[in-house]
Structure 1
Amino acid sequence: MLATKVLAWRVTGSVALFSDALESIVNVMTAIASLTAVSIAQKPADSTLPYGYHKAEYFSAVLVGVLIIVAAALIAREAWEGILNPQLPEAPVLGLAIGGGATVLNFVWARVLIRHGRKALSPALEADGKHLMTDVVSTVGVIAGLVLVYLTGWAVLDSVLAALVALNIIWSGWGVIRESVGGLMDAAVSPEQQTRIRETISSNADGAIEAHDIRTRQAGKMTFIDFHLVVPGAMSVGAAHEICDRIEAKLREAVEEVTITIHVEPEEKAKHSGIVVV
């Protein structure tokens, strides 16, 4: 796709198509970063990183966002020079045909990355896919705008299109960075998933009194859950352990790739503000 977009730019000399090609260079770099991050994230936990390497994907996604914004700055510079010295692009039919073919390939690949990224709970793959989809949108806009350039003869419009591509890329990069920073800051899982977790604990804690101080966080594809489980003071350690095992088993059915920590407390520690066992 990078080679195709570079060819389209070389054929036409269009500043807008140059900006599209420059963004594809970023795509290649971000794909390499995503591949590296996904590989690191698969490593098992060890003594150095006892909670695993899952957050490596968030660092990759932040890098993707930064590279996107750098590309936007370079495109904006080229757009400004084009506005100062506008030139009408050449070979319209061939250039647009090449750009259109690259757009179709980009769209298919972006959908594949987003679908598999969500399925695998991979922030790096999903971020890469979303960036590619932004690339598709901007390329469609460039092609439509170039058609208008050729029809009207307004050469400066080519550079204006490049500037609009830069703004679109900046917005995309900021979105990727914002989502990744949430993961690095140990953001909680979605409200829907929190509800499912609380319901699972409540309906499978027979014998306990309540569960409180429930906390969750997402690190790549791994979900971490910890909470306090209040049991009757006279209950044996073995009986309390059985309740914990039952809850953990059901949570693992409800949430894929999960690490669970349960702190058992006697009934005088009840806060009467958490989950009442049903």
Structure 2
Amino acid sequence: MADTSTRRTIAISVASLLVALVVLGLKGLAWYVTGSIALYSDALESIVNVVTAAVALVAVSLAAKPADAALPYGYHKAEYFSAVVVGVMIIIAAILILREAWLGYLEPTLPQAPVQGLAISGIATAINAVWAFVLIRHGRAAQSPALEADGKHLFTDVLSTIGVIVGLVLVYLTGWAVLDSLLAALVAINILWSGWTVIRDSVGGLMDVAVPAETQRVIREVIAGNADGAIEAHDIRTRQAGKMTFIDFHLVVPGAMSVADAHEICDGIEAKLREAVEPAQITIHVEPEEKAKHTGIVVV
């Protein structure tokens, strides 16, 4: 059965999909009443939000599954694949927006119903701002790349929408219709950057990037402080997959030490590491003293 944190993550993912659908409806209405290309670009980005929220829901549900014979290390990386899909969808949306911006630039028209359109867009933006904060905060707390990526994209959407609203006010005040298309192009460029950062961060997880330097320092301190009886620990390797931290290293013990005593040392180190880095999967390879490299953590 999934733990409380996992159940909450899945519940937030479901809510995120519902919020995305509501915001899409509002932004679609804002575009419909104004005919603005900039608001069209904003609505199109909300379609991406719906897709990414659905993908994130599938990913966090899959990542919550326990390890099995097919995937003995678990399903944690499913969230990284989700974030890559999100990034690709964002880039596709940006390309579609650039196309509409170019067509609008060739034949500029002044948007209609300014007050209604901007009011509807403002409500949608307020909803997105609140929800982006919820997603980023919970995504970091639960170490969920999918939720955090969704929240960061949503926050980017909030910033771009604010820019669109300010720009459209200028369009209505100046009567310069071509500014509508230029705003849409700026939104597209902003979305492209957002898509690139999401893909870049996700690829790091897929490539088994090491945990942050501060976490590595904690791991080394825990090993050094709880390996009494051993000689040294070397070849310490770490990687992050979703919320799971993987740690493996070689532990050198005296050649005369019994297997039972060496196993007891390993159990003690594992227990302390799990207290310091949760959740974690730990693999310790025990070696005799002639295997010491004198380059790792010296215990005695």
Q: Which of 157, 166, 174 does residue 135 from structure 1 map onto?
A: 157
Match 1:110 to one of 132, 135, 156: 132
Unaligned residue ranges in structure 2 (runs of 5+): 1-22
How far did 1:164 drift? Answer: 0.3
Q: Distance in 1 between matches of 2:214 and 2:163?
A: 36
Q: Match for residue 245 of structure 2?
A: 223
2:183 aligned with 1:161: yes
- The CA deviation at 1:202 is 0.7
State the partner residue of 1:7: 29
Q: Which amino acid aligns with 1:216?
A: T
Q: In the alignment, is residue 268 of structure 1 matched against residue 290 of structure 2?
A: yes
1:210 aligned onto 2:232: yes
2:184 equivalent to 1:182: no
Deviation at 1:131, TM superposition (A): 0.7
Over the matched positions of the two proteins, sequence identity in percent amounts to: 78
- Quote how far apart the aligned CAs of 1:262 are: 0.2
Rounded to whole Å, the distance in 1 between the matches of 2:27 and 2:68 is: 44
For the pair 1:53 / 2:75, whether they are aligned, the reply is yes
1:268 deviates by 0.7
Where does residue 242 of structure 1 map in the other structure?
264
**Matching residue of 1:24:** 46
Q: Deviations over 1:145-175 (max 9, x none)?
A: 1111111111000100000000000000000
Tell me the residue number matched to 1:277.
Answer: 299
TM-score, normalising length from structure 2? 0.92
1:147 corresponds to:
169
Q: What residue number does 2:19 align with?
A: none
Are 2:279 and 1:251 equivalent residues in the alignment?
no
The gaps in structure 1 that reach 5 residues or longer are: none
How much is the aligned-residue C-alpha RMSD, in angstroms?
A: 0.7
How big is the shift at 1:94? 1.1
- What is the alpha-carbon distance in structure 1 between the residues aligned to residue 174 and residue 233 of structure 2? 69
Aligned counterpart for 1:101 among listed residues 115, 118, 123: 123
Partner of 2:20: none
Which residue does 1:63 correspond to in 2? 85
In structure 1, C-alpha distance between the alignment counterparts of 2:134 and 2:222, rounded to whole Å: 32
Q: Which runs of 4+ in 1 moved over 6 A?
A: none
| Residue equivalent to 2:64 | 42
Deviation sequence 1:207-257 (CA, Å, 0-9, x none): 111100000011111110000001111111111111101100000000011
Post-superposition CA distance 1:108-144 (Å, at most 9, x none) = 0011111111111111111111110110010000001
1:165-212 Cα distance to aligned partner (Å, 9 max, x none)? 000000000000001011111111111111111111111111111100
1:211 alignment partner AA: A
The structural deviation recorded for 1:93 is 1.1
Residue 236 of structure 2 aligns to a residue in which SS?
A: strand
Give secondary structure in 2 for the equivalent of 1:182.
helix
Q: Distance in 2 between matches of 1:88 and 1:101?
A: 22
Structure 2 counterpart of 1:126: 148
Aligned residue identity for 2:213? P
Q: What is the number of residues matched between the two proteins?
A: 278
SS of 2:159's partner is: helix
Q: Secondary structure at the match of 1:223?
A: strand
C-alpha distance after superposition, 1:12-71 (max 9, x if no partner):
110000000000001000000000011111111111111111111111000000000000
Report the residue type matching 2:46 in the other structure. S
